[in-house]
Structure formats: C-alpha cells, structure tokens
Structure 1
Amino acid sequence: MIPVDHIRYFLEDIKTTKCLDIHLPNNLDFRLDTARFSVDEVFIEHAQWVSRDTFLSMDCSRITLWNECFTQKDIQDFISQWLTSTSTRLVWLKMIPSERITYFDSSMFPTKPWNPNSRGRYFKLEHCDDYNGVSKVDCSGGMDLIRSDGLMATIVLMAYTTYFLVWHDRHHDGTENYPDDYFYW
C-alpha cells in the first residue's frame, strides 16, 4: 500500500498536462481538498476521495469520475459555474456514481429538450488513449443549455451515468457509427 503522504505529494505537486488516469484503492481513507487538476483528460476510478472543492476547480477537457459521491447540488454548482464562465476548455464530464441515479433536478437551469436543428443526436466521446478510443452518447433524451456566448451543453441522465457534454461542434458527422458509451453495474 502506498502511504497517503506519497499519494498527496503526487496529486498536489506533480504536474501533468495530457492524461491523468488514477486508480486508488476503493477503501482508502483519504480526502484531497487542495489538488487542482488541469489536464486534457482525467480519469479517476474510486473517486470518493475527490472533494467538492477539487471537483469544482477541475480545469480539464474531459473528466471521468467513477464511484464518485457528489451530491446533486455539487453537480448543479459545476454546471452553474460552466454557465457563467467564458472558458471553452471543457468537452465532457462523465460521472458514474456509487449509487444508481433516478432523478436529476435541472429546473434551476434554462434547459430545452433536443431540437435536431440545433445539434446532432449523438455526442462523440474521444479519449486521449487508444484503450478507450471513441464512443458515442445518445443525447436525444437530454436537456440542452445555451451559454451567453452561444456554446451549448447537454445534460444526459442514464441509469448509472450522468453526462454533461459541451457541443464545440454541434453536428458530429458519422458519430452514429461509433459504439455506444455504456456502463453496466
């Protein structure tokens, strides 16, 4: 087992720019409030140790958090933060919680249902590694938000996954040919 001090040093002091893939033990008694992730892609399995402050301060293009324990309010605050920002870095956030999701309250946001004239049906998830490759998310049941600068995002809730997807290209050609992004519990 790696000592917690070593893990803390690595996460707080080592600077990564491209991809960061973290697999810490599920039962680790560890909480990190001070790390600031700023990478192209971060993938964290067993993300219970990621604090709300660390989550809200992530400056990444692609974020995947497995077995996370964030509240609906935390996710709403992440979305609110994106809505009021001018950053165009975020491409997608994928969250697989430790418990099944049955409802997400998006009433605090000016959401609209999918309009095929506004964006495509499928969102292309591209990863920075060859292992995960490219997949797609069916966004036809998602709720769209448009930021003041015109950038659109979609909230998609599936049984075990919550997506927040930012449409830098609203009509991905050929995306329907990619495999579905899915997760089975």
Structure 2
Amino acid sequence: MAAAPFPLLEISKRCYERVLSLFKLQDLITLSMISKKCRMMPTVIRTKPGCLEVSISRAGTILHLSERDNPNIRWVFNDRILGNPQSFIWEINDNRMEIHLNETGVSINPISAHFSCVSSAIKYLKELLCWSVKSVNIDPTNLPTTMNLAYLRIERCKTLNIFGINHISGGELTEILENVQKKKFLKINVMIYNDFDFNFNPNLLNCKRMLCEKPTHWLTLGDLFQLECTKFIFKKSRFRAQGCIDFIDDWMDGNGEGIDYLLVKFATLERDEPVVSSYLEDPDVVEPRSPGYILDKYTYLDCDDGFDIKHYSGKVATWQVAPDYFYFVVWHNPIHDILQRTPFEF
C-alpha cells in the first residue's frame, strides 16, 4: 500500500518554518525546485549569511555556496558528453542531477546553453538565499565552443579575477568585462595579444580598485583619469618613469581629483632619470603625515622617503620614482594606523 503524500503546503506556517529550519542548505535548494509553490518556501526562514563564488575554466563552471558553517557546497556545470552539448550534470556535493536541455521542448542553442544555465542559476540562488556574488574567477584559456563567454551574464560582484598562463584575445577580455558588469575589485593576471586595440570605454573598467599583474599595453596612464576607479596597482608594467611624472603634473593641473593611489612596478629598469618640475620636489612642502599609507585592510605602502606635494584644492600627495618602481598616494587622512598590516612589496 502506497504511503499517503505528506501535505506540506497545508500545515501551518509556524510548523513548516520549524521543519525547514532543520534542512541543510542543499536540501532547501532541492526543495525550492520541486514546484512553483515550493519555490519561495525556503525564503521564509532566516538563512545563514553566505555568498556565492564562481569559478570558470575549461573544465566547466563551479558555483561555490559559501556558508559560515558549511563552506563546501558546490554546484557544478559541465558537459556530460562532448558530442551532446545540450546535456549537463548539476552536482550539489554528491547529489547528481542530470539536466537534459534537449528534452525540455525548448529550442536551445548549444553555443549559448552553458552560460545561459550558469547565469540563470546565479540569479536563482541570489534571489532564493538573498546572497551576493563575492568573486568571479575566470580562466578563459581554450574554452570549448559550448562555453561562449558572450552569453555569460553576472550583474555585479565584489571581485572579478581574470587569469591564465596563455595569451588571450582582446575580444575575450572585452566580453568578460562587458558581461560581469559591476565589480568593486578588478584583477587581471593574463597576457593579452599585442594586436589588441582596446577602443577605450570607461564603462568596461567599472570598478573601485584595479590590480594588473601583466603588461597592459592596451591601457595608458591618461586613460586612468577617465575612470571611476580610484586605486591602481600595475606590475610588470610598460609604463615609463617620465609618463608617471607627467601623470603627477596632470593631477596637479586638476585631472583625476578622485584618485587615491597609483603604484607601478616597471617591467624593465629605467636607465634615464625623468625630467621633474621643480615644484614637485619643493622642500618647503612639509605636511604632518604617517610614514605608511594604508592600501587595504592587510597591507600598507612605506612612503617615508617620498616627496610631498600640495594641490591647489588643499589635498596633499606623496610620490617617489626609482629605476624599478613608482608610487603616488593622496592623503585624505594624514594619519594612517599601519600596525598589524604588512608592507607592500613591488
């Protein structure tokens, strides 16, 4: 004799809230997918704070669901059979759910299917759990045709990290910057082919902090003044020392007043000393300030040897240039507590 169905939707709100509070996160997600009526049930209980982390590479896409007491939940999207790109396996830990897109009766383009599913899943989980996307990590090297970045859609995240050991095309970089739209911290650690003409668009670099660990021949120091970004670190940079000094002159003339700092590690040693205007080395500009400048909650820049300059608006900045590095920092607060932070290394 078959067991009678459990009337979950007919019990009192207090009762099912109590039942749902005992569910594990992955079980809540599974429950929400049973039917439209079950869709919003997990949202009525207080879920633990957490975030989503996205990892994309040739092997597939992984959504990490990071919860304070349960950090190892992941949702994996990968091609089940390379010859059948319309089928995927979604995995929540050891629970495997096969999704056959070609059985849904909906016309699916195999080229867009992968990231259409991923983008939908991210949106679904954000609404279901009221979580944000903490990080998006993308290695775009040799992605299969079923993983077309043009169809990736992530509205906002805290950190976008683009990395890889091989060169990528400028088109791939542009697609990522366009489709991961708003990011607080942009990290680029991948080489771009030299034929890339960026066709500069400030909206693509929509972030507050930028770290480039590979040469950025596609970006100029003058471009930085057009960005909303205020914090820049460039490593292995092809910028020249004279260009960095000209950057300071432009700042003194009123450009880029919102900039907080610019740190540059030159790819090659500078043989020639740059021409520096006398007012940039004025010994009469002596302002009380800390010997170190806080870059983030972990690191500070030792700028005790820098030259202080004063903008006509009253802002004070400190700069220094050496054969292998350059720094420029603006003091919004002259006293920085650098204790318990480590010094930044160029």
TM > 0.5 fold call: yes
Pairwise CA distance, 1:118: 2.5
CA shift for structure 1 position 39? 1.9
Gaps of 5+ in 2: 1-140, 142-167
Q: Distance in 1 between matches of 2:265 and 2:310?
A: 24
How far is 1:57 from its partner?
3.1
Q: Is the 8 A contact 1:114 1:140 kept in 2?
A: no
Tell me which residue corresponds to 1:167.
Answer: 331
Partner of 1:129: none
Aligned runs of 1:69-108 on 2, under 5 Å? 69-85=238-254, 88-101=257-270, 103-107=273-277
- Partner of 2:212 in structure 1? 44
1:16 matched residue in structure 2: 182
- 1:104-132 Cα shifts (integer Å, max 9, x gaps): 44335433359775222111111xxxxxx
Which residue of structure 1 aligns with residue 292 of structure 2? 122
Aligned AA for 2:187?
A: D
Residues 319, 326 of structure 2: 8 Å contact kept:
yes
Q: Distance in 2 between matches of 1:109 and 1:57?
A: 25
CA distance in structure 2 between the partners assigned to 1:153 and 1:92 by the alignment:
9
Choose between structure 1 and 2 for higher RCO, CA contacts under 8 A separated by at least 6 residues: 1
Alpha carbons of 1:23 and 1:77: their partners in 2 closer, same or farther (altered >3 Å)?
Answer: same
Q: Which residue of 2 aligns with 1:179?
A: 342
Tell me how far 1:33 sits from its aligned partner. 4.3
Q: What is aligned with 1:28?
A: 193
Contact 1:154–1:165 (8 Å) recurs in 2: yes
Q: TM-score, normalised by structure 1?
A: 0.77
Question: Contact 1:31–1:51 at 8 Å: present in 2 too?
Answer: no
Letter matched to residue 198 of structure 2: L
The normalised TM-score by structure 2 is 0.44
1-side partners of 2:300 and 2:231: how far apart? Answer: 14
The answer to whether the Cα contact below 8 Å between 2:225 and 2:255 also exists between their aligned partners in 1 is: no
**Once superposed, which parts of structure 1, at least 4 consecutive aligned residues long, lie more than 6 Å away?**
none
* C-alpha distance 4-115 of structure 1, shift in aligned 2 (>3 A): closer
Q: Which structure features the higher share of strand residues?
A: 2
- State the shift of 1:168 in Å: 0.6
- With over 3 angstroms needed to count, the CA separation of the structure-2 counterparts of 1:38 and 1:76, relative to structure 1, is farther
Pair 141,155 (structure 1): closer, same or farther in 2 beyond 3 Å:
same
Larger Rg: 2
Q: In percent, how many aligned pairs have the same letter? A: 19
Rate the CA distance shift 1:156–1:119 in 2: closer, same or farther, 3 A.
same
State whether residues 226 and 256 of structure 2, in contact with CA within 8 Å, keep that contact through their aligned partners in structure 1.
no
Instruction: Quote the RMSD (CA, aligned, Å).
Output: 2.8
The 2-side partners of 1:176 and 1:56 are apart by 32
Matched, 1:152 2:316: yes
Gaps of 5+ in 1: 127-132
In 1, Cα distance between equivalents of 2:335 and 2:289: 5
Whether the aligned pair in 1 keeps the contact of 2:287 and 2:308 (CA below 8 Å) is no
Structure-1 separation of matches of 2:284 and 2:319 = 11
- Give the aligned partner of residue 113 of structure 2: none
Q: Say whether the 8 Å CA contact 2:242–2:275 is kept in structure 1.
A: no
**1:46-72 CA-partner distances (Å, limit 9, x unpaired):** 133233253453432210111111223
Report the number of matched residues: 175
